[in-house]
Structure 1
Amino acid sequence: MTSKLKAIIAGTTAVAALSLAGAAAAQEYKIGITQNNVGVDSYQTTYEQAFISAAEANENVEAVVLDAGGDVARQIAQIQDLIQQNVDAIIIWPTNGQAVVPAVRQAKNAGIPVIVTNSNIAEEGFDFIASFSGPNNIQQGASSAELMCEALDGSGNIVQISGQPGYTTAIERQKGFEDRLAEACPDVTIMETQPGDWNREKSQRVMEAFLVKYDNIDGVYAGDDNMGVGALNAAKAAGREGIAFIGATNFAVGYEAMGRGEYYGSIYQSPVDDAEAALQTAIDVLDGKDVPFLNYFETPKITQENMGEFSKPVF
């Protein structure tokens, strides 16, 4: 067997594929992936590396690896290019869960199964996808709310830094957090929510503005640790102490901040698991296996108390 990975990491819609010929004893698949924005944070960078490694390790997979650079129009064009290439399956990490639905419909109509990874598309597009592989973002938000309740002992005033507007993960984590917070500790009040766009520097600026506006911030919930640590840095620079920081998607910087006692808790999520699960889900769909429509992987709570049970994140 000589078939190898052909990975094309491109920010444009032009797709060039290298070809290696070889006799196959098993079914070979050409699988395309269009990602959200590899350069925006270390999670997505590590995800891409893990996806490429997983595809390289499977001699029956030829992979076309693309990055939309956060541009929904580019991602739609990339999906259309993959359809034109007649790939066997398309994996999409949506830049915008609503805007990509028509392109996903086109893939479905072309007979190409679509697997959504990490962040789901809008519910109206569910009829056009074979499976979603990734975390349960609603549950992650709910678990973060429970951590906030613990940290504040059931009462206090908090601010929220959400992810990229229009991005399903951001929407779901915020909803899960707000709904569960209202149930579990109604005496915790969210004073304001602003987007941090998954960016540490922007989140630091958002937190700086919160600190000027509010004298009584007891806690901060951020949609991921990258943003949460940006908020922590702002508070440290301002000399504001006694604030509980809760995140999701435990980054190395969040893990380290927990170890210093500066960060209360987060949700442990591996980009390596995420990438490998997406590729395996696509292969299982193509092999005709029975795959859950919502194919979640486990994302447990991590705090200062139990962090020793978890390896430091590689991203």
Structure 2
Amino acid sequence: MKIAYKSLIAGTTALAGMAFAGTAMAQEPMTIGITQNNVGVDSYQTTYEKAFIEAADADPSVETVVLDAGGDVARQIAQIQDLVQQQVDAIIIWPTNGKAVVPAVRAADKAGIPVVITNSNIAEEGFDFIKSFSGPDNITQGSRSAEIMCDKFKDMGIENEAQIVQISGQPGYTTAIERAKGFEDRLPEVCPNVTLLETQPGDWNREKSQRVMEAFLVKYDDIDGVYAGDDNMGVGALNAAKAAGRDGIIFVGATNFAVGYEAMARGEYWGSIYQSPVDDAKNALATAKAVVNGEDVPFLNYFDTPKITQDNMDQFTKPVF
């Protein structure tokens, strides 16, 4: 999308020159900086970055400064400060910690640079300093995951006795907090007699989640279901259960990864939430552009993330991450 502009048409050479100069200035590309959470931690973030760069490269109206915090809050704060000093036209932030970045976001807003938060929102006290959040509705995702699990338990006839464990994402990370909240609030509404035995963080890491599940299997003789904040962690838990010979556990995630999709196809993993990192990246870039162009943008600019289970997975293509 080209930057919209208006030029005055005048009858004098001087005014025509001014209009020409205004046109040249209006055609200059906007500069959008982005600081991401931790591109190397999982394939979703890696795919997001690739899609973001490709979308920006294909758009002549945009130049980008692409940074990655590597999961380090202090590094991300420094990157935000650096982008402010560069006087970019907008900053997109994928927060490493939704609360810790608020002061840096406030400083960017004070400097007159609009901020768009992507994928995982910042803490509510920072809402006054951002223009929009672009990403999934994480509470709805958690809620839908609870519905997927409850429906399966009802089909199995164990909704009044099932016991489950939860593997959450990185502590302090807004997505992890919201997906857990959505699940924990919704499950008692749809399956009030299901017992959540324990929650432990898997930090979005498959290997750590496998170790967490190994500990759960030792501690609890009866586990009917596992809810994981994403399929990367969920498959780690699945691997632990398979190694221990604990069959019949229902695994449900909150973001469908390729490994989760493949496990669903094998009949080992029941369901998840379908979320595209490509859509996520493109939505963030489009939101930032719209903000710079002065367009009206929803404060919570969500994209839809539907339920996916073994029953309907043929309606979805395998994720690319």
Same fold, TM exceeding 0.5?
A: yes
Deviation at 1:25, TM superposition (A): 6.3
CA displacement 1:183-240 (0-9 Å, x = unmatched): 1111111000000000000000000000000010000000000000000000000000
Within a 5 Å distance, the mapping from 1:73-92 to structure 2 comes to 73-92=74-93
The answer for the alignment partner of 2:16 in structure 1 is: none
CA displacement 1:233-276 (0-9 Å, x = unmatched): 00000000010000011000000000000011000000000000
Partner Cα separation in structure 2 for residue 88 and residue 287 of structure 1: 10
Between the aligned residues of both structures, percent identity stands at 80
Partner Cα separation in structure 2 for residue 95 and residue 114 of structure 1: 15
**CA RMSD of the aligned region, Å?**
0.9
The answer for the alignment partner of 1:212 in structure 2 is: 218
Partner Cα separation in structure 1 for residue 29 and residue 124 of structure 2: 31
The answer for the alignment partner of 2:251 in structure 1 is: 245
The answer for the alignment partner of 1:168 in structure 2 is: 174
Q: Where does structure 1 differ by over 6 angstroms across 4 or more consecutive aligned residues?
A: none
Deviation at 1:299, TM superposition (A): 0.1
Tell whether 2:100 aligns with 1:99: yes
The answer for the alignment partner of 1:270 in structure 2 is: 276
The answer for the alignment partner of 2:240 in structure 1 is: 234
Tell whether 2:176 aligns with 1:202: no
The answer for the alignment partner of 2:142 in structure 1 is: 141
Partner Cα separation in structure 2 for residue 49 and residue 128 of structure 1: 28
CA displacement 1:49-75 (0-9 Å, x = unmatched): 000000001011110000000000000
Give the 3 Å change call, closer, same or farther, for CA 129–25 of structure 1 in structure 2.
closer
SS in 2 for 1:30: strand
Partner Cα separation in structure 1 for residue 108 and residue 135 of structure 2: 20
The answer for the alignment partner of 2:192 in structure 1 is: 186
Deviation at 1:27, TM superposition (A): 4.8
Structure 1 residue ranges without an equivalent (≥5): 1-22
Aligned AA (2:51): A
Count of residue pairs the alignment pairs up? 293
SS in 1 for 2:107: helix
SS in 2 for 1:40: coil
Tell whether 2:60 aligns with 1:59: yes
Partner Cα separation in structure 2 for residue 284 and residue 25 of structure 1: 15
The answer for the alignment partner of 2:291 in structure 1 is: 285
Partner Cα separation in structure 2 for residue 77 and residue 27 of structure 1: 27
Partner Cα separation in structure 2 for residue 83 and residue 25 of structure 1: 21
SS in 1 for 2:194: strand
Greater CA drift, 148-157 or 268-277: 148-157
TM-score by length of 1: 0.92
Deviation at 1:151, TM superposition (A): 1.7
The answer for the alignment partner of 1:43 in structure 2 is: 44
Deviation at 1:24, TM superposition (A): 6.7
Partner Cα separation in structure 1 for residue 177 and residue 28 of structure 2: 38
Aligned AA (1:43): Y
Aligned AA (2:72): D
Partner Cα separation in structure 1 for residue 49 and residue 29 of structure 2: 21
CA displacement 1:1-30 (0-9 Å, x = unmatched): xxxxxxxxxxxxxxxxxxxxxx67635210
CA displacement 1:265-305 (0-9 Å, x = unmatched): 00000000000000000000111111000000000000001
Aligned AA (1:98): K
CA displacement 1:82-109 (0-9 Å, x = unmatched): 0000000000000000000000000000
Partner Cα separation in structure 2 for residue 46 and residue 135 of structure 1: 16
Partner Cα separation in structure 1 for residue 181 and residue 28 of structure 2: 42
Structure 2 residue ranges without an equivalent (≥5): 1-23
SS in 1 for 2:198: strand
Give the 3 Å change call, closer, same or farther, for CA 284–27 of structure 1 in structure 2.
farther
Greater CA drift, 152-161 or 300-309: 152-161
Within a 5 Å distance, the mapping from 1:25-36 to structure 2 comes to 26-36=27-37
Larger radius of gyration: 2
SS in 1 for 2:298: coil
Partner Cα separation in structure 1 for residue 189 and residue 46 of structure 2: 36
Deviation at 1:182, TM superposition (A): 1.2
The answer for the alignment partner of 2:262 in structure 1 is: 256
Partner Cα separation in structure 2 for residue 28 and residue 139 of structure 1: 36
Deviation at 1:44, TM superposition (A): 0.2
